Amino acid sequence: MTASPYLFRAAEHPLVAVTDQLKVREAVSGFGIALRYQERAPGPEAPDAHWCETGHSIFILSGRIAYRFDDHTVEAGPGDMLHIPAGPAHRHKPRVIGEEIARYVLTEFG
């Protein structure tokens, strides 16, 4: 089979514990977009958690997750998709809802 810059073989990339609540499997394309599979465990939002200003498109596989914005919070579950533009006007903080680990796939762009 021919190698392709369009194919991400997830099994070839480790699932890395970034924090005690977050594990990430990542591929960064030559097109300036990161593709990530993430597992986020339930737990309180860290008091010093930074606002994320990175843009994302997200597909929730399992579990439930809330994204807090300056003026509202949105909750998403299995089969839901979100698109969050980049920039301070769209800054957000994620948090798992309930006791189930949230599993999702996202793209990340500037």
Question: By residue range, what is the domain housing residue 91?
Answer: 32-96
E strand intervals along 8-92: 16-17, 22-28, 34-40, 55-62, 64-68, 73-76, 81-84
Mean pLDDT of 5-9: 78
Does residue 78 form part of some domain?
yes
Is there a domain that residue 47 lies in?
yes
Residue 17 located in a structural domain: no
In a domain, 91, yes or no: yes
Q: Specify the pLDDT at position 39.
A: 96
Confidence at residue 32, expressed as pLDDT on a 0 to 100 scale? 74
pLDDT band at 80 (very low <50, low <70, confident <90, very high): very high
Residue bearing the bigger pLDDT, 59 or 1: 59
The answer, as to whether pTM is greater than 0.75, is yes
- 9 within domain boundaries: no
- Residues 12-67: tens digit of each pLDDT: 889 999 999 999 998 877 777 788 999 999 988 766 678 999 999 999 999 999 99
Q: Is residue 26 part of a domain?
A: no
- Is residue 9 pLDDT above 90, yes or no? no
Asked if the structure places residue 109 within a domain, the reply is no
Structurally, the chain folds into a number of domains equal to 1
> Whose CA is closest to 40, among 16, 62, 23?
23
Within-domain flag for 48:
yes
Distance of alpha carbon 58 from alpha carbon 104, whole angstroms: 7
Residues 3-13, mean pLDDT to the nearest whole number: 80
- Compute the distance between CA of residue 84 and CA of residue 108 in angstroms, rounded to an integer: 10
Determine contact, residues 40/66, Cβ cutoff 8 Å: no
Residue where the block lists tokens 């309930």: 98
Q: What is the pLDDT of residues 94-104, one digit of tens each?
A: 999 999 999 99
